[in-house]
C-alpha cells in the first residue's frame, strides 16, 4: 500500500521542531531488502527515529485464489508463498486440509513429510543466515550456505521432480513415494552436512565484524515477543520456549529425539545462533526418520476417497477405477464437512497455519494463511528504532522476511 | 485443545458464550458486545498470552449460515499449550468491534488486514489504514460478493509519474 504523502506530512506538521529529520525511502527495489518491500525512514543523522513499513507490492490475492482452486490445486499456490521453504508450506496446507477432513495419514507418509519439512527448515535457515552474513559483509559464509542449499534442491528434485516449487503433498498422501536415489542422497547429506555447519560456525560465530554488527541490535524482550505474536526462531531467540513440534506434536514428531533451541539474547546474534543450532537438531530428526522409514503404502486407502489410487489398482480393480474416476472428474471430487478448522505447523519461520472452512465441495470456502513473515515484519519498526541505518539490513536479515508470504 | 477448568472459568466470567468441539479444537462464540471483555478475561485470567491470528470469514453463500461475517480470534497459551478459537458473528450495517490492540500489540497489523480485506472496523485501533491494497482501492476484495477477477479498480488507480513521485 503506497503511503500517501498526506499521512507523512500530518506527522511532520505537528513536530515542526523536528524538521532537521531526513526522510529516506528504503526499497521497494533494494538489494538488501531481498524482496519487494518498502520502508519509509525518518533519520536523525544516521540514526533511525521512525520506520514506517509499507507493504503490498507483491499482493497477489492468494487467499482469494484459494476460494476458487480445489484442495489439491491450491498446493501450487502455497509453494509461492514462502518460496524459500515450499515443502514446509505444502505440509502445512495439506495438514490443515486433512485435519478438516479427518484423515489419518499412513506412517510412511508422516515420516516422509517430516523429512522434507526438516530439509526445508535447513534450507530456509541456510538462506536466512547466509543472507544475514552477506548483508553484514561475510560473503564466503553466504557461499558456504548456498552450496549446501543446492544439495537440498537436488534431494527435492530426486523425490518430486521439481527443485524450487515442489507441490509435493497431496490430500491424504504424497505425489510420489521415496525412491532409493532420494534415500541415498539424504543419507549423504546427513553425513556431510555437520562438517559444513562446523565450518560456518567457525567463520562467523566469533567473527569480530559480524558480532559487532549483530550483538545488541534489534532487541526483542520475551514479554514483547509474546505480546506481539512472534513465533518460531524469533520468539525462541527471545526466550519463549514454544515449538509446535514439541508442544503439539503433529505428523510423527513425537517419535524423534530432538531439542528445542532457545536463547535469552533477543538480538540479531541470538537469532543467528538459534537458527544455527536448529539446523543441527533438524539434521538429527532427518537422520532418525530416514533410518527408521516405515514400509507400507504412502497414500491413504481408496476407502478415504481423497488420494488417487495407484495405477495397478486402477487397471485391475473396479474400486480403484471408480475411485480414480471420481477424483479425476472435475464435477465429482470428494466431500468435505461443513466445518472450519485451524491447523498449524512449526515452519522454518514460525507458526504457519491455515484456517480452512469447508462447504461440502472440494474447494475451500475460505483458505486463510497465517503468515509468519507478516506477523514478524510488524515487529520491525519497534526493533529498529534508535539503531543506525546500516543496522536495518542486519535486523531485516535476522527476521527472514519473505515478501511473497508477507503480501500473499 | 483447552482444559475444561479454563473453559469453565471463561464461561463463568462471560455470559452467553456457546462452545463447540471439532477435531480436538474448541471454538467459543461470543456476543458482539462482549468481545473485548472476553479477550481480556482470556488473556489475564485464563493464560492465553499469545494472539495467533485474527481472521474473518464471509458467510454470504454458506449453507445454513445466519450471519454475514464471522470474525475469528485464534488464541494460544505459550505455557500450557492450550488453544481456543473465539468467534464473533457480525452483520451489516453493524460491522465494528473494539480493537484488541490494547491487549496485544500484535493485533495491529492483523486487524488492518481484516479491515483491508473485509471492511470490518476496529474501534480504537491506532492506525486503521489499508495495508495490502492501495489507499485508493474502494472495495473489500475478500468479501464473497467481490469477483475473483476484480471490478476494474486497477484501471482507475492514478498513474504515478516520475515527476509526481
Cα–Cα dist A83/A277, whole Å: 22
State residue A16's pLDDT score: 55
Confidence band (pLDDT; 50, 70, 90) for A126?
very high
Q: Which of A102, A353, A378 sits opposite B109 (nearest CB)?
A: A378
CB atoms within 10 A of CB A310: 16
* CA distances (Å), origin B63, targets A250, A358, A406, B92, B93: 31, 11, 32, 18, 21
State residue A4's pLDDT score: 46
* Residues of B whose CB is below 8 A from A61: 141
State residue A156's pLDDT score: 92
- A316 compared with A21, residue with greater pLDDT: A316
- What confidence tens digit (pLDDT) does each residue in A5-15 have? 444 444 545 55
User: What's the length of chain A?
Assistant: 408
Residue of A224, A335, A366, A375 to mutate, testing the B interface (most B Cβ within 10 Å of its Cβ): A366
Residue B139 confidence (pLDDT) above 70: yes
State residue A354's pLDDT score: 93
- Select from A260, A289, A247, A254 the least CA-distant residue to A113: A289
Q: A–B: how many Cβ contacts below 8 A?
A: 117
A229:B130 CB<8 A? no
Residue position matching grid coordinates 507458526: A351
Q: Determine which of A295-304, A381-390, B118-127, B136-145 has the lowest per-residue pLDDT on average.
A: A295-304
Cα–Cα dist A343/B76, whole Å: 12
On whether the pTM is more than 0.95, the answer is: no
State residue A77's pLDDT score: 92
Cα–Cα dist A30/A9, whole Å: 24
- Alpha helices by DSSP H, B79-125: 107-118
Chain A nearest C-alpha distance from B109 (Å) = 7
For residues A214-225, average pLDDT = 89
Residue A114 confidence (pLDDT) above 90: yes
DSSP for A320-349 reads HHHHHHHHHSTTT-----S-EEEEEEEETT
Chain B nearest C-alpha distance from A49 (Å) = 18
A1:B57 CB<8 A? no
- Select from A201, A347, A197 the least CA-distant residue to A283: A197
State residue A136's pLDDT score: 85
Q: Determine which of A139-143, A358-362, A402-406, B154-158 has the lowest per-residue pLDDT on average.
A: B154-158
Residue A346 confidence (pLDDT) above 80: yes
For residues A365-378, average pLDDT = 91
A330 CB contacts (<8 Å, ≥6 apart)?
none
- Select from A308, A359, A369 the least CA-distant residue to B58: A359
- Alpha helices by DSSP H, A68-179: 75-79, 86-101, 107-135, 139-160
- Select from A364, A349, A375 the least CA-distant residue to A82: A349
Tell whether B148 is within 8 A of chain A (Cβ).
yes
State residue A14's pLDDT score: 52
State residue A1's pLDDT score: 46
Confidence band (pLDDT; 50, 70, 90) for B66?
confident
Residue A25 confidence (pLDDT) above 70: yes
Residue position matching grid coordinates 477405477: A321
Residue of A229, A242, A406 to mutate, testing the B interface (most B Cβ within 10 Å of its Cβ): A229
Q: Which of B23, B116, B160 sits opposite A99 (nearest CB)?
A: B23
For residues B107-134, average pLDDT = 89
Residue A166 confidence (pLDDT) above 50: yes
Residue A371 confidence (pLDDT) above 60: yes
Chain A nearest C-alpha distance from B31 (Å) = 19
Percent of chain A whose predicted confidence (pLDDT) is above 90: 33
A344:B52 CB<8 A? yes
Q: Which of A59, A351, A366 sits opposite B57 (nearest CB)?
A: A366
State residue A15's pLDDT score: 53
Share the mean pLDDT of chain B.
Answer: 86
Residue A3 confidence (pLDDT) above 70: no
Tell whether B154 is within 8 A of chain A (Cβ).
no
Share the mean pLDDT of chain A.
Answer: 87
DSSP for A196-212 reads HHHHHHHHHTT-HHHHH
**Nearest residue of chain B to residue A379 (CA atoms):** B106
For residues A66-95, average pLDDT = 90
B109:A99 CB<8 A? no
Residue A174: asked if its preceding bond is cis (omega within 30°), the reply is no
- What confidence tens digit (pLDDT) does each residue in A83-105 have? 888 999 999 999 999 999 888 88
B51:A59 CB<8 A? no
CB atoms within 10 A of CB B6: 19
Confidence band (pLDDT; 50, 70, 90) for B22?
confident
Amino acid at each position: 500500500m503506497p503511503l500517501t504523502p498526506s499521512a507523512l506530512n500530518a506527522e511532520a506538521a505537528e513536530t515542526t521542531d523536528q524538521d532537521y529529520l531526513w526522510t529516506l525511502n528504503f526499497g521497494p527495489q533494494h538489494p538488501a531488502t531481498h524482496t519487494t518491500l518498502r520502508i519509509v525512514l525518518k533519520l536523525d543523522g544516521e540514526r533511525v527515529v521512525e520506520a514506517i513499513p509499507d507493504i503490498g507490492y507483491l499482493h497477489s490475492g492468494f487467499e482469494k485464489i484459494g476460494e476458487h482452486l480445489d484442495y489439491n490445486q491450491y498446493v501450487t499456490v502455497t509453494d509461492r508463498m514462502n518460496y524459500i521453504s515450499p515443502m514446509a508450506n505444502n505440509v502445512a496446507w495439506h495438514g490443515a486440509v486433512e485435519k478438516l477432513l479427518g484423515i489419518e495419514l499412513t506412517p510412511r507418509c508422516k515420516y516422509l513429510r517430516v523429512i522434507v519439512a526438516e530439509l526445508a527448515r535447513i534450507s530456509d535457515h541456510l538462506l536466512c543466515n547466509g543472507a544475514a552474513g552477506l548483508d553484514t559483509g561475510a560473503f564466503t559464509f553466504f557461499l558456504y550456505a548456498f552450496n549446501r542449499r543446492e544439495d537440498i534442491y537436488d534431494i527435492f528434485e530426486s523425490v518430486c521432480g521439481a527443485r524450487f516449487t515442489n507441490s509435493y503433498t497431496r490430500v491424504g498422501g504424497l505425489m510420489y513415494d521415496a525412491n532409493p536415489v532420494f534415500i541415498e542422497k539424504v543419507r549423504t547429506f546427513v553425513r556431510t552436512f555437520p562438517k559444513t555447519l562446523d565450518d560456518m560456525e567457525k567463520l562467523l560465530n566469533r567473527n569480530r565484524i559480524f558480532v559487532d554488527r549483530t550483538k545488541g541490535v534489534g532487541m526483542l524482550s520475551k514479554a514483547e515477543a509474546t505480546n506481539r505474536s512472534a513465533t518460531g526462531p524469533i520468539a525462541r531467540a527471545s526466550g519463549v520456549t514454544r515449538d509446535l513440534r514439541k508442544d503439539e506434536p503433529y505428523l510423527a514428531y513425537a517419535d524423534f529425539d530432538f531439542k528445542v533451541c532457545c536463547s535469552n539474547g533477543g538480538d540479531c546474534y541470538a537469532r543467528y545462533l538459534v537458527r544455527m543450532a536448529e539446523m543441527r537438531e533438524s539434521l538429527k530428526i532427518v537422520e532418525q526418520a530416514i533410518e527408521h522409514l516405515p514400509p507400507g503404502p504412502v497414500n491413504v486407502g481408496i476407502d478415504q476417497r481423497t488420494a488417487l489410487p495407484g495405477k495397478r489398482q486402477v487397471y485391475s480393480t473396479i474400486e480403484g477405477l471408480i475411485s480414480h474416476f471420481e477424483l479425476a472428474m472435475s464435477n465429482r471430487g470428494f466431500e468435505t464437512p461443513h466445518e472450519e478448522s485451524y491447523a498449524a505447523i512449526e515452519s522454518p519461520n514460525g507458526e504457519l497455519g491455515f484456517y480452512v472452512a469447508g462447504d461440502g465441495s472440494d474447494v475451500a470456502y475460505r483458505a486463510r494463511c497465517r503468515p509468519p513473515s507478516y506477523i514478524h515484519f510488524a515487529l520491525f519498526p519497534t526493533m529498529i528504532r534508535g539503531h543506525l541505518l546500516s543496522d536495518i539490513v542486519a535486523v531485516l536479515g535476522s527476521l527472514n522476511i519473505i515478501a511473497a508470504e508477507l503480501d500473499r | 485443545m483447552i482444559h475444561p477448568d479454563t473453559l469453565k472459568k471463561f464461561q463463568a466470567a462471560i455470559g452467553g458464550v456457546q462452545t463447540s468441539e471439532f477435531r480436538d479444537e474448541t471454538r467459543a462464540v461470543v456476543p458482539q458486545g462482549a468481545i473485548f471483555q472476553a479477550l481480556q478475561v482470556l488473556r489475564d485470567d485464563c493464560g492465553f498470552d499469545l494472539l495467533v491470528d485474527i481472521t474473518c470469514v464471509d458467510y454470504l453463500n454458506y449453507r445454513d449460515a445466519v450471519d454475514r461475517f464471522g470474525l475469528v480470534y485464534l488464541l494460544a497459551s505459550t505455557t500450557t499449550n492450550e488453544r481456543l478459537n473465539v468467534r464473533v458473528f457480525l452483520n451489516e450495517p453493524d460491522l465494528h468491534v473494539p480493537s484488541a490492540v490494547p491487549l496485544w500489540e500484535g493485533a495491529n497489523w492483523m486487524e488492518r488486514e481484516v479491515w483491508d480485506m473485509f471492511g470490518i472496523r476496529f474501534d480504537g485501533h491506532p492506525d486503521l489504514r489499508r495495508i495490502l491494497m492501495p489507499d485508493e482501492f474502494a472495495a473489500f476484495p475478500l468479501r464473497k460478493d467481490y469477483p475473483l477477477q476484480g471490478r476494474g479498480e486497477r484501471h482507475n488507480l492514478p498513474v504515478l509519474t516520475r515527476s509526481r513521485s
